[in-house]
Every structure is written in C-alpha cells, then in structure tokens.
C-alpha cells in the first residue's frame, strides 16, 4: 500500500500586506477571508475594527480594495470569486498612517495631502483651486464627491492604522491631543459625505472613545467584539491544519498551539499570523511577535499604576474599562487588551446589559515575554534576570532547594538600592510578589495561581520536569502572624495536585520590606 504524496509547499507570505502580490502566480499560502468581507458589505456600510499590530489588518483592507475595484483574477478559487458582482467597479480611497512616525501637526497634514494627491492622480481628478493648501478635510470632502460624480459609483474609503499618529505621541499628552483633534476633523468628513459613500472601513490597534475621536461617526459599527468576526484576522486551528499542513511535519503541533494560539474576541480563537509564518520559516519557537515592538510605555504604565502582575493571568473588567480609552485616561486593562498582551477568556452578564469580562494571557509567548519586560520595569537588571532564569531551570531539574534559596536571595540583592530610593513602586504592597511571580513566568514555566488578587501573598504552583512546586509567599510586615509554610499546609493547597502522582515540594517564602530580600525559605518535601 503506497502512502499519499505530501502536499506541495508554497512560499510563506512573510511581511506581505498587498493582496495582489500575495495572489499573483498562486505561489503563496493564503487563508481565504473573503467570505467575511462579503458578509460585512451585505450587512452594512461603515465599520471599525481594532486588532493588535501585525495581525493582518492591512492585508484585509487591501482585500477590500481589490474587491471593490473589480480585479477578479486575483480572487480565482476564493469564496468571493462566485459570490461577488464583478460587473461593477467602485472608486477607492485608501488612507494609511502605517509607515513612519509623525511627531508634528505639520507632518500629519503633509502626509494626508500627499495621500490625497496620489489618489487624485490615479483618479485623474483636479484639486479645486479654492481650497486652502492645508485644508485636508476639505480636500478629502471634495475628492469623495468628485470621484462619485466622475465614476458614477459611490466611493469606498479605507483607513489603515487610523490611530497611529496619536499612539506615536502617547507619552506626550498635549501633542497626542493635538493629533487626535486633527484626525477627528479629518474623519468627520466621512459622516458629512455619507450620500457619496458606498463603504467605509477603519482599522487600528486601539479604540479611542467616540466622544473624543468619532463623535461625528455615530453610524460607525464597531465589530471588534462581534463574535461573528472574531477570526476575521489571524489563523484558526483549521487554517493551520489545512492551509499550512505541508509546514507541520517536524514541529510539535501542541506546542504551536500553546505558544501562538489563544487570541479571542468573543468568538473563534486565532493564532498570531506573524508568529506562525516565522515559526514555519525558521523552524524554532521564539517570541517573534513580541520582539517586533518593545512595550516600554506599557511597562512604565503598569509600574506607575502599581499593577499587581500576578493579576495579569486573570483580569476582571467591565466592558467600559476595556472597550476604549483616551489620551489622558488610559486604563491599563484597556491598553493591555487592545495591544494584544491580554485577550478575552470569557464574559458574564451580571445584570441586564452589564457584562463582566475575564482577560488573561493569550499564550505562552506573551506570558513569558511580557513578564520578562516587567522585571526590568520592577528594578531587576536585565543581565541578572537572564542569568538567574537560566539557573532557575537547572536548579528545579536538580531539585536543589538550597540552591533555590541562594538564587532568590541573589535576585533581589541585584536590585540597586538607588532604585528603591527613586521608585515609589518599592512601597507598593504587591511589589515583592510581583517580582517573584514575573520571574517564574518569564522563565517559560507553567505557572498556576490560586489567589492572584491578594497583594499580601500569593499561592503559586509551578509544574516542571515531573515535579510540582507549591509556593506560599508573604511579606512579614504585611502578614506578621504565622509562617508561610504553615499557611500553605493549613490551606490544603497540595490536595488538588496529589492526583498527579508526582513528587511535590511545599515552599514557604517570606520577604521583608526592611531587608528588601528573602528572610526565610522553608521547604517540606511530599511524595
């Protein structure tokens, strides 16, 4: 009996955001998203979608562009090929702020002017002489009306990275506000030009409040948390198993899922496409997506707000807290969710129209990498953090409890005393627990938390190399009564892990704010 021949491998579309480049020659892998595109066009005409960076938003917009312009040859074999009216072609205006950084209002104005100039050349439409040179809102209004009258079809407007000029300046509130007001003026054109518009689609990383940026676009339909479109960007499990089947041999399928899957917007979960493509190319697991953008602002914000990092594994928030933010009001939960460092794990309606959302890490890549970045924000020198993480894995494999005690002491001793003097964060009651937890999470270990909301202590299980390590942590100045190990025994935390039949170690860790270090580490082996 002969085995079936393997599926042929194709080119990996790494970094390709142009639909035509991806589809011409039929050489690249492509996950068909055109059914989503047609569904949106049939159901409405003005949409907004927020997704993290490098999730395929630009490619999605370019798919809309080629669809409306009627380039059928690019859609051969796709859902849209047999379900779209190819007899009609629409003028398309695409505005993208994805390239470069804008720090001055004059630069933003010049960027928009240049985009509109190129569209006028393509559509062969002159700029009205009566318009002032810097009147980009008036220029866009005129272009939309001219294109409609000239072509006889309503206009399609696609805006990519609509929020990037604001995010480029997010640490400078006055400048970010200036950018927001300029963009608000530009986007208001879309409301006034409704009679001339066939379809409008805006995408970005963040969602700014409607009052601050979209006050004129009250007809804008936000599909960010629409379960029907949860998988409109990214790859599903089925996509990985079918479209990319030729790339799977030689890779641990479950590990791919653990490292890169897990993003969810109330519907079907998806993989980060950037990670998956780089994995198939380089054939090794790395934090590819995380390394493309250091979340310095996010790390500083979490430290400034004294965010208890063990809570990152399970954040409870109302929809208002994660749905949008503004330049001068940025809840950490909203920023973490919209930038992709946390994702939706579920929601519950606690009363009529009052929903509580549960957020958590999407996957191992984000959990490990974000906590590594947080260690630096919490005062641990980068070199010391890396060295001790490597040592930690060796000591856990060897079950070297004495070595662990010395390692923990060295970790906290590495934090400069001058850092404590300059940072109020050191006075935060959850500081030591945050460093302790993030240290383990950054090491890529499987960490489970029992009580992540208690800032005085945490119960933490670490499952590694066939051994269960159970930690009870406390700061003696906060919880002076009793010993950490005794509390761990009294709570019966070990009982839930006994069925695993693996050796267990109960470890009580006590820290002192005065000593700024470990003052006790008691161990009880079980099994």
Provide the total of helices (H) and of strands (E) in the chain, helices listed first. Answer: 19, 13
Q: CB burial class (10 A; 0-12, 13-18, 19+) of residue 469? A: buried
Given a cut of 70, is residue 452 above it in pLDDT? no
* 471: Cα within 13 Å, side-chain hemisphere: 25
Mean pLDDT for the stretch of residues 431-452? 86
Question: Minimum mean pLDDT among 14-28, 133-147, 244-258, 492-506: which range?
Answer: 492-506
Strand partners, 522: 508
* Confidence band of 211 (pLDDT split at 50, 70, 90): low
What is the pTM assigned to this prediction? 0.91
> What pLDDT sits at residue 216?
63
Mean pLDDT for the stretch of residues 321-331? 82
Q: CB burial class (10 A; 0-12, 13-18, 19+) of residue 303? A: buried
Give the whole-angstrom CA distance, residue 372 versus residue 375: 5
What is the three-class DSSP state of 344? strand
Given a cut of 90, is residue 246 above it in pLDDT? yes
How far lies 519's CA from each of 79, 103, 484, in Å?
Answer: 64, 49, 11
pLDDT in tens, 297-310: 888 888 888 888 99
Given a cut of 90, is residue 493 above it in pLDDT? no
* Confidence band of 453 (pLDDT split at 50, 70, 90): low
The answer to whether the beta carbons of residues 207 and 50 sit under 8 Å apart is yes
Residue 411 neighbours by CB distance under 10 Å? 23
- Strand order in 446-449's β-sheet? 446-449, 457-464, 467-475, 504-512, 517-526
Strand partners, 354: 351
Given a cut of 70, is residue 456 above it in pLDDT? no
* Confidence band of 218 (pLDDT split at 50, 70, 90): low
Given a cut of 80, is residue 198 above it in pLDDT? yes
Given a cut of 80, is residue 75 above it in pLDDT? yes
Mean pLDDT for the stretch of residues 351-358? 87
Given a cut of 50, is residue 222 above it in pLDDT? yes
Question: Minimum mean pLDDT among 356-370, 476-490, 494-508: which range?
Answer: 476-490
The answer to whether the beta carbons of residues 53 and 273 sit under 8 Å apart is no
The answer to whether the beta carbons of residues 435 and 378 sit under 8 Å apart is yes
* Percent of the chain's residues with pLDDT above 70: 95
Give the whole-angstrom CA distance, residue 217 versus residue 210: 8
Give the whole-angstrom CA distance, residue 443 versus residue 459: 18
Query: How does DSSP assign 150-188, residue by residue?
Result: HHSS-EEEEEESTTHHHHTTTTSHHHHHHHHHHHHHHHH
> What pLDDT sits at residue 331?
87
The answer to whether the beta carbons of residues 362 and 343 sit under 8 Å apart is yes
Separation of first and last alpha carbons in the chain: 50
Give the whole-angstrom CA distance, residue 72 versus residue 66: 8
> What pLDDT sits at residue 5?
39
Give the whole-angstrom CA distance, residue 363 versus residue 343: 9
Query: How does DSSP assign 340-394, residue by residue?
Result: TSSEEEEEEEEETTEEEEEEE-SSHHHHHHHHHHHHHHTT--HHHHHHHHHHHHH
> What pLDDT sits at residue 158?
98
- Provide the mean pLDDT of the chain: 90
Name the more confident of 454 and 256. 256
DSSP 11: B
What is the three-class DSSP state of 240? helix
The phi-psi region of residue 220 (left if phi > 0; otherwise alpha if psi is between -120 and 50; otherwise beta) is beta
Given a cut of 80, is residue 102 above it in pLDDT? yes
* Confidence band of 455 (pLDDT split at 50, 70, 90): low
* Confidence band of 244 (pLDDT split at 50, 70, 90): very high
pLDDT in tens, 369-425: 999 999 988 888 888 778 888 899 999 999 999 999 999 999 889 988 888 888 877
> What pLDDT sits at residue 1?
37
> What pLDDT sits at residue 2?
38
| Biggest distance spanned by C-alpha atoms of the chain | 85
Mean pLDDT for the stretch of residues 129-149? 96
* 96: Cα within 13 Å, side-chain hemisphere: 16
Given a cut of 60, is residue 497 above it in pLDDT? yes
* Confidence band of 525 (pLDDT split at 50, 70, 90): very high
Give the whole-angstrom CA distance, residue 204 versus residue 52: 8
Q: Where in the chain is the domain with CATH 3.40.50?
A: 31-224
The phi-psi region of residue 48 (left if phi > 0; otherwise alpha if psi is between -120 and 50; otherwise beta) is beta
Mean pLDDT for the stretch of residues 143-168? 96
> What pLDDT sits at residue 288?
97
**Which positions ≥6 away from 292 have C-beta within 8 Å?**
53, 54, 274
Query: How does DSSP assign 254-276, residue by residue?
Result: HHHHHHH--B-SSSS-BB-HHHH
Per the document, the length of the chain is: 527
Question: Minimum mean pLDDT among 344-348, 366-370, 376-380: which range?
Answer: 376-380
Q: Provide CATH code, domain 31-224.
A: 3.40.50
């Amino acid at each position: 009996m002969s085995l079936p021949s393997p599926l042929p491998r194709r080119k990996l579309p790494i970094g390709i955001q142009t639909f035509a480049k991806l589809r011409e020659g039929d050489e690249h892998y492509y996950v068909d998203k055109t059914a989503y595109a047609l569904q949106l066009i049939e159901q409405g005409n003005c949409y907004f979608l927020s997704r993290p960076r490098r999730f395929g938003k630009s490619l999605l917009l370019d798919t809309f562009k080629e669809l409306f312009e009627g380039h059928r040859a690019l859609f051969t074999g796709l859902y849209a090929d047999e379900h779209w009216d190819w007899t009609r072609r629409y003028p398309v205006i695409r505005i993208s702020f994805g390239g470069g950084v804008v720090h001055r209002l004059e630069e933003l104005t010049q960027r928009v002017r240049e985009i509109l100039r190129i569209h006028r050349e393509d559509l062969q439409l002159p700029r009205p002489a009566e318009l002032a040179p810097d009147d980009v809102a008036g220029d866009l209004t005129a272009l939309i009306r001219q294109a409609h009258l000239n072509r006889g079809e309503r206009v399609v407007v696609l805006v990519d990275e609509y929020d990037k000029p604001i995010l480029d300046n997010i640490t400078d509130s006055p400048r970010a506000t200036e950018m927001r007001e300029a963009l608000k003026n530009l986007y208001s054109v879309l409301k006034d030009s409704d009679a001339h518009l066939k379809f409008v689609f805006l995408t970005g990383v963040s969602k700014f409040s409607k009052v601050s940026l979209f006050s004129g676009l009250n007809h804008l339909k936000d599909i960010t948390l629409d379960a029907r479109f949860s998988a409109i960007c990214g790859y599903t499990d089925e996509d990985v198993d079918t479209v990319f089947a030729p790339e799977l041999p030689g890779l641990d399928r479950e590990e791919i899922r653990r490292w890169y899957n897990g993003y969810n917007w109330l519907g079907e979960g998806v993989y980060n496409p950037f990670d998956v493509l780089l994995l198939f190319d380089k054939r090794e697991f790395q934090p590819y997506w995380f390394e493309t953008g250091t979340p310095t602002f996010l790390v500083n914000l979490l430290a400034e707000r004294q965010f208890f990092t063990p809570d990152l594994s399970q954040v409870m928030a109302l929809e208002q807290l994660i749905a949008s933010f503004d330049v001068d009001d940025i809840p950490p939960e909203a920023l973490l969710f919209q930038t992709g460092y946390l994702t939706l794990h579920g929601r519950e309606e606690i009363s009529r129209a009052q929903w509580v959302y549960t957020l958590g890490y999407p996957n191992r890549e984000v959990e490990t990498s974000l906590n590594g970045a947080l260690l630096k924000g919490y005062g641990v020198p980068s070199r010391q953090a890396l060295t001790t993480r490597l040592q930690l894995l060796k000591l856990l494999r060897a079950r070297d409890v004495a070595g662990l005690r010395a390692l923990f002491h060295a970790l906290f001793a590495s934090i400069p005393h001058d850092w404590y003097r300059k940072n109020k964060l050191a006075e935060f009651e959850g500081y030591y627990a945050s460093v302790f937890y993030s240290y383990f999470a950054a090491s890529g270990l499987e960490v489970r938390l029992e009580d992540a909301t208690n800032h005085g202590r945490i119960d933490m299980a670490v499952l590694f190399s066939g051994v269960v390590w159970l930690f009870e942590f406390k700061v003696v100045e906060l919880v002076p009564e009793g010993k950490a190990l005794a509390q761990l025994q009294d709570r019966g935390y070990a009982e839930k892990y006994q069925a695993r039949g693996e050796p267990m170690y109960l470890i009580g860790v006590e820290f002192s704010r005065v000593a700024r270090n470990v003052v006790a580490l008691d161990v009880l082996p079980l099994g």
